[in-house]
Structure 1
Amino acid sequence: MNYRLDIQYDGTRYEGWQRQKTTGNTIQGKIEEVLSRMQETPIRIDGAGRTDAGVHAKGQVANVHMETDKSPEEICAYLNRYLPEDIGVERVSRVNERFHSRLLAKKKIYQYRIAAGHHKNVFERKYQCPLHEELDVDAMKRAAQRLTGTHDFKSFCSNKKMKKSTVRTIYGIDVESLPGELRITYTGDGFLYNMVRILTGTLVEVGRGDRKPEEMTDILLACDRGSAGFTAPAQGLTLLQVEY
């Protein structure tokens, strides 16, 4: 049977989503460990997005093929009983055998949160980038418009050895100014390694006045990581939703 897992996690103390040979401290690794114990056999799951170390998720999706007498509700309860307190499974559901969380994803929505102004919010420190600067939001919005659409985003990818296509489609970048906080929400068909964080760093440089919105076109055409902005810190980023 094929099961879909809807997952949320605080990524602060983990080395990202994807399992690694050098550490067991990953989100995928922790979930597989609990499922393997439940099934008394090695279990492997597939996730929709390979979030970086320190990145959070409210709407991560994974799927797993396994045979069990437990109901989806019992699987969910077992996972939440034995997973660390900063990883939770919202629901488990049976899905078509062909469902694949990553390959069939149509849209992914990420949100980056920036602490603005001089007010320090202690309870949000794990989920915001503590920039505390005044940014030109209108300039950032104009720059964001130039980054939407289908482009080669090689300039916004940290993986220099990327052999697959770096063309992606961004459906929208919403820059929202709230009291004490700036939120940038990205909706796209997929994102490259560090892409959202580099896009954010570049938009912040526009907000600071270090770059002009019009430069985004040249950065895209350059296909060179060195032409884009800095990589924003991981803690401000959250995977909000995956759509199928």
Structure 2
Amino acid sequence: LPSVQGALEAAVQATCGVPTRVHGSGRTDAGVHATGQVAHCDIAKDFRPDKLRDALNAHLRPNPVAVLEAEIVSDTFEARFSARKRHYRYRIVNRRSNLALEVGRVWRVPQRLDSDAMHAAAQRLIGRHDFTTFRDTECQAKSPEKTLDQLDVVRDGDAVTIVTSARS
């Protein structure tokens, strides 16, 4: 399967007739599923947003990628740099039994996790911190300091969900 970006770029080219770069608001690693990802591309053709969405989705089949909305934005909009917040949800199935329907979508940890202790420890990470140690040598961010607004660890049966929210 092509990457999400590759699938989107192929769909835009099939729709508009010219190769077009698609810029995402963030990147995901292989095997990671993004919901609510924002992307932009510059196209010369005039489309009603709903018609563009439908055309892209027609060309995205059978890839597991869908365009939920399309809209016209200002020329200064950049999906990555215009984002004000980013939200992430990490799902863990905390049980000894193997995964069935969730294979490839969650992380299975067979040893019992103490989600209350994890949540308490996570609260110490909230706030503004210097992430220089975690930066790629080619990182384009203006500052290594980032603000983590939310980091919750919640258990519901054998599901442990980690929810984060950070300013961009």
User: In 2, Cα distance between the equivalents of 1:96 and 1:126?
Assistant: 37
Q: 2:33 aligns with which of 56, 78, 95?
A: 56
Which of structure 1's runs of 4+ aligned residues deviate more than 4 A? none
Of Structure 1 and Structure 2, which has the larger fraction of its residues in strand?
Answer: 1
Q: How many residues matched?
A: 165
User: Displacement, 1:119?
Assistant: 4.2
User: Displacement, 1:124?
Assistant: 1.2
Structure-to-structure mapping, 1:101-120, within 5 angstroms: 101-120=79-98
Which structure carries more relative contact order (alpha carbon 8 Å, separation 6+)? 1
User: Displacement, 1:86?
Assistant: 0.5
Instruction: Pick closer, same or farther for the CA change 1:162–1:138 going to 2, 3 Å.
Output: farther
User: Displacement, 1:126?
Assistant: 1.8
Structure-to-structure mapping, 1:167-206, within 5 angstroms: 167-190=145-168
1:69-96 Cα offsets, whole Å, 9 max, x none, are 3321111111111113300111111122
TM-score (norm 1): 0.63
Q: Does 1:72 align with 2:45?
A: no
User: Displacement, 1:31?
Assistant: 0.6
User: Displacement, 1:37?
Assistant: 2.0
Tell me the residue number matched to 2:115. 137
Q: 1:153 aligns with which of 127, 131, 135?
A: 131
Kindly indicate whether the alpha-carbon contact (under 8 Å) linking 2:135 and 2:144 is maintained by their aligned counterparts in 1: no
Instruction: Give the letter aligned to residue 37 of structure 1.
Output: A
- Superposed CA RMSD: 1.8
**How many percent identity over aligned positions?**
33
User: In 1, Cα distance between the equivalents of 2:138 and 2:10?
Assistant: 30
Unaligned runs of 5+ in 1: 1-12, 14-24, 191-244
Kindly indicate whether the alpha-carbon contact (under 8 Å) linking 1:119 and 1:180 is maintained by their aligned counterparts in 2: no
